Amino acid sequence: MRSTDDRYRSDQARHDLALRLIAHEARTGTIRQLTGLSDDRIRRLFGSYFKHQPGNAVRRRRGRTPSQVSMFLKTPRHRRHAASLAAAFVAGGLFDPETRAVCGDCKLDTGERLCLAYERYLALHGGKDGALLTIEWAWALLGSLQAGDELALDVCEQCDVHYVRDLLSIEAQQCPSCLVMPNGRCRKSRDHAHTGHTLGAGFA
């Protein structure tokens, strides 16, 4: 009985995570990787829950997960968004900056932590319309931080905020939060330590 219950719970958890990922417009390959569900089942879930809903704004993304790290360094705003996502990874127990490990008891747990971190990022930036980075970019950022060959997660000495540093750049790099402050320094606050950014207009 117990193993049947466990199997049911696990299947339900996979199903719930897949719906959450579809709502964030994750790609089929990413959903498959995190939930273990087949492409066909993912397609059917999308068809049953999203496709024919009136006013459906959820799209199915196809193709490969984006992988160019330049997306996170493109402009100061992109760097602030990447830093804010990375801080949400750390705060949500998804990424350990010391060991560069992606955390989770299993893929499903990792997927749930990814959704939670991404939802925190969305909340900080005013939802989908204010977010520069999709969940696929979040997944790519996590992969890059884990690989540690192009990007590193550092803590700014001035403001204690996590920020993403370009390992291949020879220029001195400043934390993007400090860059937006008039005197080049950003206030220390408990908020910063946990989320990466306050909701001030300058941090959008």
Residues interacting with Zn ion, by CB under 5 A? Answer: 156, 158-159, 175, 177-178, 186
Contact yes or no for 88/137 (Cβ under 8 A) = no
Residue 152: helix, strand or coil by DSSP? Answer: strand
- Residue 83 or 122: the one with the smaller Cβ distance to Zn ion is 83
Q: Give the nearest distance from C-beta 159 to Zn ion in angstroms.
A: 3
Which stretches does DSSP call E strand in 57-150?
A: 95-96, 101-102
- Residue 27 or 80: the one with the smaller Cβ distance to Zn ion is 80
Q: Give the nearest distance from C-beta 14 to Zn ion in angstroms.
A: 40
- Tell me the C-alpha distance between 120 and 94, whole Å: 13
Contact yes or no for 91/195 (Cβ under 8 A) = yes
Q: Give the nearest distance from C-beta 77 to Zn ion in angstroms.
A: 15
Q: Give the nearest distance from C-beta 146 to Zn ion in angstroms.
A: 23
- Residue 84 or 177: the one with the smaller Cβ distance to Zn ion is 177
- Residue 158 or 198: the one with the smaller Cβ distance to Zn ion is 158
**10 contacts: CB under 8 Å, gap ≥ 6:** 108
